[in-house]
Every structure is written in structure tokens, then in C-alpha cells.
Amino acid sequence: MAIDERYAFATIRELSGHIQAGRVSPVELVEMFLTRVQRYDSKLFSFITVAPDVARRQAKEAETEIRAGKYRGPLHGIPYGVKDICATKGIRTTWGSNIFANQIPDHDATVVTRLRDAGAVLMGKLATGEFAGGARHLQGQVHNPWKLDRTASGSSCGPGAATAGGLVTFSIGSETSGSIMGPSGSNGLTGLVPSYGRVPRYGAMALSWSCDKLGPLCHSAEDVALVLRAIAGPDKNDPTARIAPFLFTGFKNTVRGMKLGVVRNEFLPAERAGTKPLFDAALRKLSDLGVQMEDIALKEFPYSEVLNLTIAVESAASFEDVVRAGRFDEFVVKTRGNGWAAAMSVSAVDYLRAQRIRTEIIQYAKSIFENYDALVAPNNVTPAAVIQPDNAPGGGGRGGAGAPGTPGEPPRYLGNLCNLTGVPFTSTRCGFHENLPICIKFVGPPFGEATILELAHNYEQATDWKARTPEYAE
Amino acid sequence: MNPSRRKFTRMLALGATAPLIPQAAVQQEPVPADAVDVSMKTIDVPMNEERTKQVRESVENTIRQIKTIRAYKLKPDTEPAMSLGVFDSK
């Protein structure tokens, strides 16, 4: 029986209520989403591989269990997609690359295993920028459901577009430098980059071992918390995963008395972009909610040089075989190989020097949170950019829809600080500009996801930005 | 190390051996032309005009990053941050 397609944009919490009440079954839900994928993904190109057999089997299992009284929790029967850097047993995992177009893993990534254990239903593999970089991949580029001529940003472009476009209820993306925040901002989602070490990375393609994080892209902060609860925690297969499960039992529903550092320099480009009123209104709303705010200026460090060198060297090492074999002409983005070739000859001494600077940045970041519960800044000051032709130079960016640095304006450091230090950060919608989403972000202390999700949740409850959905399918 | 990689490594050493200099001056120092020329002959992929230009840009960017990193004044007892154990979990 066909069900109301308004369920396509419902949250996990809403859908779980409908499922528990018997108003909709997991089988009906997955058929609705599969029909939508068939009809509308020809506009978005968000899936690399749809897995209808897997989806239907898992939906049937969920339905049978729920009817038998074995309810696993709010993710039971909920359709999701996973970025195509995460291994899925028997389903091709391309890494967005022609070179790995036919790679079929014999194991599941830990996040996939945990979501299956929670009863979630895997719809398929979502587009990733090639090798988790940028927005171009072996099948082209992903389109933004808010305006089809705009990019979904990368590299979690498929998770961003599929979730925002109502083709899955939530998705799993990854961030090394901008790849969850960029698509979250461009597609108007609540996305989370968890603390480094919070979510196991076993089975996920390694781009930069000391910077990679897996995280959820959802319709709400509560959904993010529910997904994080399912996927976080130690993993015998991943020694970098800390003993840090996320024991979410609900929000406090107040942020009164929290102290936020407003990273004022990050807001300055919004004036030129025309989005300053949205951020001013967001800060006023936070003030109305009882949050205390104080301007903060970040200390100067060579953030971008340290981050870029770290990622370049680590990713060149991760893909050493590909680089040494000289397979650059097989890349979707040909320039990527040249950067890695240059990085392969960076000395260990210079890499370690960069890591020593990184230690000082980490110590500085920890000191910030001795005075503030969290930081607040724009996620994207400009809406999603127009899609560039496939033959345009560059890889479509590493994610992040913010304005580039401009002479006369102070540089924006916060994203680089976050990815160098492994602190958690989340983004949620705070308005629209040119009918495209604009998002604000909250940055927390190490393992401070509860704090920043509480902020995002309370802000979402106090505003109605989430009510609007894209109309590309009409 | 094969000869071509030795040349490439030497290239980067040539380009990035400036003594520690003030931060502002680091960004102004030009990349040695011979360093870039050497690198273009040592990467084991087919080279054409476009790739040569791209490699030049990549090498220049890398050398600039290294110079900035070398110019930063570290505290003497700072240890490198590795991927494990930086934060205490709660």
C-alpha cells in the first residue's frame, strides 16, 4: 500500500512514533523511499548504488520483529544511506573512484553493523567526492535538492542531498576537513562531526588517519543524538575508538545559563554575503533562550598550513600504492594525484614539526573551553554554489560552503581548528538566502556532543526553519 | 630510494632550507625556480604541459606550507600530537 510521501521528510523520532503506533510499517516506508529514489534521484544523483534487495529484506525483518514485540529502539525500521567510503559486505564500495568502481568488501564497516543491530534499514551507498575529497566522483556530481543547479557540496554530497531531498531519513557521512559541515550547510541539515575517537572508523576508507571522523546528517538535533547513540563507542577493530559511548537519554530542554563564545571574525564575511541578518537573528534567539554570549577572537596559529600539510601527507601515505603506480589519469580529479606526489616527499621532520604545532593548537583549544561551554559561528555564510562543469579545474572543494578568504577581511580559522583538534561541532539551519539554506554551527569541548546538541535542539525548537522542505520533486 | 625520488627529495630540501625567518617575510620569499624544474622531471607519471603546470603549483604550495611551519616558534618541550591519546575520554 502506497503511503503518504510526507513521511519522506519526517524525523527519526516522528517516524518511530508512527511505526510503534502501527500507522506505517517498515516495509511500506522502504517502498515509499525506493519509489522516490527511482523517480527523483535522476535529478539529484545522490546514490552511487541503490540496494533494493537489502533494503526490502531488512525492512521485512524489522516489520516481523516489531510485530512480534521485539522493538529495538527509535532506529528500528528507519531507512538510511551510508557514504560510499564505508564498507558494506557484498555491496560495491567505490570510494567515488574509477579505480575502485568494482570493489566489493567482504565485511561491513562498524557503523553499518551497529545501525543494523539498531534495526535501521540500509537503502544503499551514497555518493562521495572521489577519495572523500570535493564533490566530483566517478558518476559525476550531486545536485542540491533546494536548487538543482547548485552543488550538494562535498565530500558527503550524497548523504547531504539524499537526506535533504527526502530519499532517506538520515545518512552517515565523514569529515576530514569540511566534508560533513559543507553538505550540512548547503543542504540545510543538522549534521554532526563527532569528537575524534567517538565513532569507530573500522571499514571506512582512510583519507587522513589523524583527521577522519564519521558522523550523521539528519533532519534534527534529536535525530543526530539518536544515531550517535547507536554508532558511538569502543570497537575492538579500531584502536583509535575511545571508551566514550554516547549515552543519550533525552535533552534537558534548556540552555539557560550556558556561556557561548561568539567567534566574531567568522561572522564578518556574512555582511558582504548578505546573510548577516540571519545570523544576528540567530544570536538574538539564543540570547532569548537564556544563553550568555561573549565575543572571542581566536589566537593566531598557522592552522591551514598545519592542517593541509597533515592531510596531504597522510592521504598520500594512505594512497601510496595508487600514487606510486602513477594512476593519475584514472582519477576523476586529475590534480589530486599531483598534490599527493608533492606530499610524498615531505620530510618526516617537517611532518613532525607540524604535529608539534598541532599540540599547541590542541592545548589552546582545550583552554578555550575552560571559559565557555561552546563556541558559535556561521557554518556557511553563502548558500550552495552553482555546480561547475566537470571539466572545470579543481575538485569542487573539500567541503564547506563558506566564503573564501578576502583581502581586508580576517581569515576564518575555526573549521581548521576543529579538524586539527578533534573537537565536536554541529550545524543546524538558521534561515534561507536566495531560497537556499544557511546554517549556524556550535563547537564543543572534547566529547562535548551533549552540550552542542542541546544548543542545536533548543534553537531548533524555538524556530521553525526546519518546517520548510525542498520542492524539486514537484 | 630510487634516483628520481632522491632528486625530488633534494628539490624539496633546496626549496625549503631557508633559515628561520619572521613570519611575514616567509610568505614573500619566492620559490626557487630550479627546485620546481627538478621536481617536474622526477615524478613517475607521463608529463605534459598541463600536468607540469599543476605539479608546479602543488610543489609551490607544499614548499610554502613547509616554510610557514618551519618559521613558527615552538615551545621547546612541545611533543607531536599523534592520533591516539590526545584527549581524555569521559
* Range A38-63 average pLDDT: 98
Residue A57: closest CA among A109, A126, A121: A121
The proportion of chain A whose per-residue pLDDT surpasses 90, expressed as a percent, equals 86
Partner B, chain A 148-207, Cβ-Cβ below 8 Å: 195-197
Chain B residues touching residue A329 (CB < 8 angstroms): 45-46
Cβ contact (<8 Å) for A359 and B79?
yes
CA distance A228 to A237: 18
pLDDT of residue A2: 66
- Confirm or reject contact between B24 and chain A (CB < 8 A): no
pLDDT of residue A410: 62
Cβ contact (<8 Å) for B83 and A357?
no
A52-76 tens-digit pLDDT: 999 999 999 999 999 999 999 999 9
Q: What pTM, to 2 d.p., does this model score?
A: 0.91
pLDDT of residue B87: 52
Contacts of A386 (CB under 8 A, 6+ apart): A149, A150, A151
The CA–CA distances, whole Å, from A253 to A69, A137, A174, A427, A456 equal 30, 41, 28, 18, 10
A213-238 tens-digit pLDDT: 999 999 999 999 999 999 999 999 99
ipTM of the complex model: 0.81
A382-391 tens-digit pLDDT: 999 999 887 6
Mean pLDDT estimate for chain A: 93
Along the 90 residues of chain B, how does pLDDT read in single tens digits?
Answer: 444 444 444 444 444 433 333 444 444 455 555 555 555 554 566 777 887 778 778 888 888 999 999 999 999 888 888 754 445 433
Q: Which of A87-101, A115-129, A300-314, A402-416 has the lowest mean pLDDT?
A: A402-416
Better-predicted residue by pLDDT, B76 or A403:
B76
* Range A160-189 average pLDDT: 98
Quickly state the pLDDT bin for A339 (edges 50, 70, 90): confident
Interface A-B: count of C-beta contacts within 8 A: 119
* Range A26-50 average pLDDT: 97
* Range A412-436 average pLDDT: 96
Contact A379, A185 (CB under 8 A): yes
Residues of A designated as active site = 83, 155, 179
A223-279 tens-digit pLDDT: 999 999 999 999 999 989 988 889 999 999 999 999 999 999 999 999 999 999 999
CA distance A63 to A71: 10
Cβ contact (<8 Å) for B83 and A240?
yes
Other beta carbons within 10 angstroms of residue A411's beta carbon come to: 14
- Confirm or reject contact between B61 and chain A (CB < 8 A): yes
* Range A432-458 average pLDDT: 97
The one-character DSSP state at A435 is: T
Better-predicted residue by pLDDT, B2 or A353:
A353
